[in-house]
């Protein structure tokens, strides 16, 4: 029900955006967000863009996980 | 940026599982309160990947599952009234109530139209000025701002024939009810898209008043496993708090514009939740200045009927005191094809997810 999907804003006109996901496009309302521009990724929920997605934050989350691997590799290296 | 794919990457799942196995030194029960998480956890087979000491259970996170039969009765009665079109999300169609459902009534000719967005319901009202369109407004904080925007839009577009019937609910009072009802949950996996709207502050009472930690999680397998690891660490450190794993979508302040629109249109009210009864301050109803759009006020509810006795355990499953497998109807008298209770109807219900992904193994 709270399902929201990441979509990319293609064009903006009159408070609505054409957003794309895969090969599909949809007309999404931008009433709930300020300052969106084409190229931004947003979460689409029940016809509304509800939040902008932050790529840097995503990369940081992934980096922290990848570091766990490096740490454990480093540990097993020193044990040998 | 197909970043979602990166959060499904097998190597990262393995890293997190190894770390979880190392650090899970106690018994843990973590509850998710979001239907999206229920579906993700079961569809990715996460319970089977985790050590046996970690138990993931579902709480009242599926809006369809917690919706009252009287709301459904009201919607069905409206759909039978001449001149009314009922617009609903597809999720509500199959919920059984009083021997029928919106789906059965629609098949029998009632005016029920499935929409993906309230905006489609507004267009329906614009195109059918001779009809009254009633939008069934269900969902949590993720969905309510859109409904609020729709009500404001109806005013701007002069659509006096547009109404909503609100069963909108807010999450924190239900989480409090789970804890106060007596639970051995020692961590909450908090809903990512509710929090994208509200921000992280709404969960502060859980660590502060009850010593229970929370992690706001995304919906991919890497997100969920990282959230589980963060909760394990909170429990091990005996330092419960509110953390955000889903940082790409959840800011501490949430989405202030959406929150303001929601607060402009709705006031907090008491709401009935399946499994809990009435929870004070857990619902959203239109403020008096928007009452002319309130189908609950304009078209009064039909008389309440006696609830039908059933062995369905949906209520205690939503409270987290029982699992789907404990229910005598599960898998025999209640299946996704022929559901007896709401938890089996919704694709996000605990029973549906458990039946679809675990029973079929």
The complex scores an ipTM of 0.93
The residue extents of the domains of chain A are 5-79
Phi–psi pair at B343, nearest 5 degrees: -65, -20
Spans of all domains in chain B: 64-170+254-298
Secondary structure (3-state) at B265: helix
Which residues of B fall within a CB distance of 8 Å from A65?
A: 12, 15-16, 222, 226
User: Is the Cβ of A35 closer than 8 Å to some Cβ of chain B?
Assistant: no
- pLDDT by residue for chain B (361 residues), tens digit each? 568 899 999 999 999 999 999 999 999 999 999 999 999 999 999 999 999 999 999 999 999 989 988 899 999 999 999 999 999 999 899 887 777 899 999 999 999 999 999 999 999 999 999 999 999 999 999 999 999 999 999 999 999 999 999 999 999 999 999 999 988 899 999 999 999 999 999 999 999 999 999 999 999 999 999 999 999 999 999 999 999 999 999 999 999 999 999 999 999 999 999 888 999 999 999 999 999 999 999 998 888 777 667 888 988 999 988 999 999 999 999 999 888 888 998 888 999 999 998 875 5
Q: What residues contact residue B32 under an 8 Å CB cut-off, 6+ apart?
A: B38, B41, B56, B57, B58, B59, B61, B188, B189, B191, B217
Q: How many residues does chain B have?
A: 361
Among A48, A57, A72, beta carbon nearest to B248: A57
Residues of A in contact with B251 (CB under 8 A): 51
Closest alpha carbon to B173 in B258, B255, B269: B269
A-proximal residues of B, 178-207, CB under 8 Å: 191-194, 196-197
Interchain pair A2, B258: CB under 8 A: no
From first CA to last CA, the distance across chain B in angstroms is 34
Minimum distance, in Å, between the CA of residue A37 and any CA atom of chain B: 15
Considering only CB atoms, B34 lies closest to which of A2, A41, A72, namely: A2
The answer to whether residues B243 and B205 touch, using CB atoms and an 8 Å cutoff, is: no
Token digits of residue B1: 């940026």
CATH architecture under which domain A5-79 falls: Roll (2.30)
**Closest by CA position to B73, among listed B54, B92, B51:** B92
Question: Which of A2, A8, A27 is best to mutate for the B interface (most B CBs within 10 A)?
Answer: A2
Residue contact A65–B116, C-beta within 8 A:
no
CATH number of B64-170+254-298: 3.40.50.11740
- Cβ distance B60 to B342 under 8 Å? no
């Amino acid at each position: 029900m709270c399902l929201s999907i990441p979509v990319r804003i293609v064009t903006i006109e009159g408070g609505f955006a054409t957003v794309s996901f895969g090969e599909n496009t949809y007309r999404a309302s931008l009433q709930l967000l300020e300052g969106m521009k084409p190229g931004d990724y947003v979460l689409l929920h029940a016809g509304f863009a509800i939040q902008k997605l932050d790529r840097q934050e995503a990369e940081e989350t992934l980096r922290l996980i990848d570091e766990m691997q490096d740490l454990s590799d480093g540990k097993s290296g020193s044990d040998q | 940026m197909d970043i979602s794919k990166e959060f499904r990457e097998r190597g990262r799942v393995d890293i997190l599982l190894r770390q979880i196995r190392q650090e899970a030194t106690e018994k843990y029960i973590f509850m998710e309160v979001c239907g999206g998480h229920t579906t993700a956890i079961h569809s990715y087979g996460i319970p089977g990947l985790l050590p046996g000491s970690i138990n993931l259970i579902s709480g009242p996170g599926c809006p369809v599952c917690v919706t009252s039969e009287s709301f459904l009765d009201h919607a069905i009665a409206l759909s039978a009234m001449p001149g009314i079109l009922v617009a609903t999300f597809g999720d509500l169609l199959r919920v059984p109530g009083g021997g029928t459902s919106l789906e059965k009534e629609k098949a029998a000719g009632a005016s029920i139209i499935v929409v993906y967005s309230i905006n489609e319901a507004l267009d329906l009202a614009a195109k059918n000025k001779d009809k009254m369109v009633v939008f069934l407004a269900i969902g949590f904080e993720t969905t309510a701002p859109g409904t609020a925007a729709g009500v404001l839009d109806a005013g701007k577009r002069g659509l006096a024939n547009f109404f909503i019937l609100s069963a909108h609910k807010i999450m924190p009072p239900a989480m409090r009810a789970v804890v106060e009802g007596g639970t051995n949950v020692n961590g909450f996996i908090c809903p990512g898209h509710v929090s994208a709207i509200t921000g992280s502050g709404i969960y502060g009472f859980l660590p502060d008043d009850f010593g229970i930690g929370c992690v706001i999680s995304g919906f991919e397998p890497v997100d969920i496993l990282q959230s589980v690891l963060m909760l394990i660490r909170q429990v091990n450190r005996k330092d419960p708090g509110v953390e955000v794993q889903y940082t790409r979508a959840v800011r501490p302040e949430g989405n202030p514009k959406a929150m303001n629109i929601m607060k402009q249109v709705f006031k907090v009210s008491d709401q009935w939740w399946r499994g809990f009864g009435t929870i004070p301050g857990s619902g959203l109803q239109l403020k008096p200045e928007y009452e002319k759009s309130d189908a609950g006020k304009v078209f009064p509810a039909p008389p309440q009927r006696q609830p039908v006795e059933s062995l369905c355990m949906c209520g205690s499953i939503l409270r987290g005191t029982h699992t789907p497998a404990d229910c005598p109807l599960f898998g025999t008298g209640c299946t996704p094809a022929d559901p007896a209770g709401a938890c089996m109807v919704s694709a996000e219900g605990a029973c549906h997810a458990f039946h679809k992904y675990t029973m079929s193994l």
